[in-house]
Structure 1
Amino acid sequence: MTVQLVRPTADLFDSWAAAVAEFGEGHVDGSGLTAPVTPDRATLDALIADAERLADTAIAPPADRVHNDLYWVVDGAEVVGFLSFRHALNEWLAEAGGHIGYSVRASRRREGIASAALTLGLERAREIGLQRVLITCDVDNEGSYRTIERAGGVLQDISDQSARGMGMLRRYWVAL
């Protein structure tokens, strides 16, 4: 297994569409998509354009967004997951979203992919000069919180984000 982070590309359309479809109709953390998602060419084209705009630090992001590097987690030519690295925190991200959001498709979980992807995401945070990053996960997502803890995450708190439609979240800081 060779896990890499790649920018969204039409070259991997079929694998991306299969990965998105595997998640079903719910939210896909780190994908840059909002549910429900139709994994078609138009959706991908819009995602690529949005990802390029948000990654361009020469252009101010919209008022409710921050600069963001959107990646697909790939193993060879297969999209196995998603990772979103936000350069800064706005109010919503400081409470619920964090600097890094990620997910791995169900058929590829428990292979170390999330750990490898998170390590690469933390390397990107170091590249832009962050001293620490906030990462959140659902309180009952043991796989995710163990991944964050193995990466050096220190639990800040458990936060009720029900008002935001998210439920209970574990919020971790990782020093870089």
Structure 2
Amino acid sequence: MPDLIEPDVRVRESFLESVEEFLAEGRGGENTMLGLWREKFADRWESEDGFADFVAYLHADATPDAPRPDHHVPQSTWWLVEGDRYLGRISCRHALNDWLAEYGGHVGYEIRASARRRGHATWMLRSVLPHVHALGIDPALLTCDDTNVASRKVIEAAGGVFEDQRAQKLRFWVPTDVETAAAAPSQE
């Protein structure tokens, strides 16, 4: 059964395999989370020490005082794992800058290709909502491409209410409070 954990060095091999899956799909380019990570760490995350630096960076990124580009905000990241197998990630941006308010939203997630269509994204999003609420965010803005039917279904399953479309992005508001956001169901 999958778990949602803070980034951990124990899943290095599987994480790196997932990077290859994302790249094979054409993901991980500019203006993506994976693209940023690759730019900063791909030259060294194959080594245990380099991957430990990457994990430390992710932990530090959640703190307000961590060094980051001017246009970035503090962000907490969790990984979906099954044992030592990395399945995906979900991140919560602690605040919205202008670009995030229009297109990016508070929460972003992705599931590696070999782990899709099993309900992982829905379970992961529902599971992270209490953490998002604890950050003082309610409701949370989530966006997806207008062509991404699967992501739209994930957002709607978590209680997302459609607000509007801006360019190719659909925008939804998802309640994060415990009363409205039901506890994550067990994954079958």
Q: What is residue 35 of structure 2 aligned with on the other side?
A: 34
Report how far residue 33 of structure 1 moved: 2.6
Figure out how many residues of one structure are paired with residues of the other and give that number: 165
SS at match of 1:33: helix
Report how far residue 47 of structure 1 moved: 2.9
| Structure having the larger proportion of residues in strand | 1
Q: Which residues of structure 2 form unaligned runs of 5+?
A: 177-188
Q: What is residue 145 of structure 1 aligned with on the other side?
A: 152
Q: Which residues of structure 1 form unaligned runs of 5+?
A: 161-167
Q: What is residue 14 of structure 1 aligned with on the other side?
A: 13
RMSD over aligned Cα atoms: 2.2
Instruction: Give 1:158's match in structure 2, choosing from 162, 165, 171.
Output: 165
| CA distance in structure 2 between the aligned counterparts of 1:36 and 1:108, rounded to whole angstroms | 21
Report how far residue 32 of structure 1 moved: 3.8
Report how far residue 126 of structure 1 moved: 1.5
Would the aligned equivalents of 1:15 and 1:79 in 2 still touch at CA under 8 Å?
A: yes
Is 1:131 aligned to residue 138 of structure 2? yes
Q: What is residue 124 of structure 2 aligned with on the other side?
A: 117
Give the partner amino acid of 1:40.
E
Tell me the TM-score normalised to structure 1 length: 0.83
Report how far residue 142 of structure 1 moved: 0.7
Sort the Cα spacing of 1:158 and 1:12 in 2 relative to 1 into closer, same or farther, 3 A. same
Tell me the TM-score normalised to structure 2 length: 0.78
Give the partner amino acid of 1:169.
K
Report how far residue 147 of structure 1 moved: 0.6
Runs of 4+ in structure 1 over 3 Å off:
35-39, 41-46
Q: How does 1:60-139 map to 2 (within 5 A)?
A: 62=68, 63-139=70-146
| CA distance in structure 2 between the aligned counterparts of 1:103 and 1:170, rounded to whole angstroms | 17
Report how far residue 70 of structure 1 moved: 1.3
| CA distance in structure 2 between the aligned counterparts of 1:40 and 1:135, rounded to whole angstroms | 32
